[in-house]
Amino acid sequence: MRGPGYFHDPTPHKLIYYTSSGSEHDGAADMDEDSPSLSDLVDCFLEESYSYQDDDDNAETDRSAASDNSESVERVINSVIIDSSDDHELRQLVAPAKGDQYRSLLTSQVQLALEMFQFRGAENVSRQQQVVLRGVMSHLRSLAHDAAVCKTKWNASASGSLVSGSYEFIDVVVDSSSTSSTSTPQLRYLVDLHFASKFEIARPTEAYARLLNLLPGAAFVGTEEELRRVVKLMSDAAKRSLKSRELHLPPWRKNRYMHMKWFGPYRRTINSVPAAGGGRWRAERTAVGFDLQVYDGGVNGGQHHMTASTFN
């Protein structure tokens, strides 16, 4: 049976060449023998014309190359500035906020829960991750946090710019009076497990790889606004990285799609067991200092264990 749920709906320069042609005029019949012949004059004219045209072409090529080099240097400088700015901003966003004691506490408790819930198996990783997600959520609730698993789901756009999808993460709602914030009565902290992996792309540039390494690998814990800024920053950086590699930006890495994963319409649930396969999976835990056992009642009837440390 599913627990109670709540539905929310947030709403070049152009090269111009001149060619001249003219009619030939016969010279005087009594032309001096030392005078150049008409054919010599024509040959001389043509040689000079080609020479001038080559000079113009070379000058134009030099100007074009200089312009391209200038634009390349400008792009490199701008890229370095952007990358440096992104590094600085991302460090600020993922680091524990000074003065936000609740976020620091929540982060440490999420990390403890992740150490507790570790599967001793490698099969069905996707299902294991769902169970771990609910294990972390249940642990936070046992510590009196208003935590729940959030399920977002969205449809594809008519234009095809957005593909359909769904996603799960944890949110924790807290009275803002218990935090440093005073602008809103309630704050919503988002907890996302295996966070850095959600932003991996093909053949990342050095700059993008550096940003990726700044992201918390185990779990992101932060406010909605903090996560929104991280998503926008990483989506833009991924687009630049793929473009520089002449690779296509996949629809599931576009900013709009990434945004919908955490900020699309969602439903909260406090069920500790993922609902799929007709209740094939269930989780059990004993008292403090427990082993969490996850049973797969499918055809193979397997049993998996997740270890837990004693709470202090």
Provide the domain limits for residue 92: 76-307
CA atoms within 13 A on the CB side of 203: 9
∠ CA 207-209-211, nearest 5°, is: 75
Tell me what pLDDT residue 283 has.
Answer: 42
User: Does 6 reside within a domain?
Assistant: no
CA atoms within 13 A on the CB side of 173: 10
Tell me what pLDDT residue 68 has.
Answer: 53
User: Does 12 reside within a domain?
Assistant: no
Over 60: is that where the pLDDT of 8 sits?
no
What pLDDT digit, counting tens, does each position of 37-85 carry? Answer: 545 544 554 454 444 444 555 555 555 555 555 545 444 444 555 567 8
Answer yes or no: are the C-beta atoms of 101 and 179 closer than 8 Å: yes
What pLDDT digit, counting tens, does each position of 251-288 carry? Answer: 999 999 999 999 999 999 999 887 654 344 444 443 33
H or E element in which residue 178 lies? none
What pLDDT digit, counting tens, does each position of 167-221 carry? Answer: 999 999 998 766 555 566 789 999 999 999 999 999 999 999 999 999 998 999 9
User: Does 45 reside within a domain?
Assistant: no
User: Does 17 reside within a domain?
Assistant: no
Rounded Cα gap, residues 144 and 123, in angstroms:
32
Rounded Cα gap, residues 292 and 312, in angstroms:
18
What pLDDT digit, counting tens, does each position of 90-136 carry? Answer: 998 888 767 789 999 999 999 999 988 876 555 566 778 888 999 99
C-alpha closest to that of 242 among 196, 204, 198, 199: 204
> In the structure, what pLDDT confidence band is assigned to residue 307 with cuts at 50, 70 and 90?
very low
Tell me what pLDDT residue 289 has.
Answer: 39
User: Does 115 reside within a domain?
Assistant: yes
User: Does 59 reside within a domain?
Assistant: no
User: Does 296 reside within a domain?
Assistant: yes
Q: Give the total number of structural domains in the chain.
A: 1
Q: Is the pTM here over 0.95, yes or no? A: no
Answer yes or no: are the C-beta atoms of 138 and 128 closer than 8 Å: no
User: Does 29 reside within a domain?
Assistant: no
Tell me what pLDDT residue 291 has.
Answer: 41
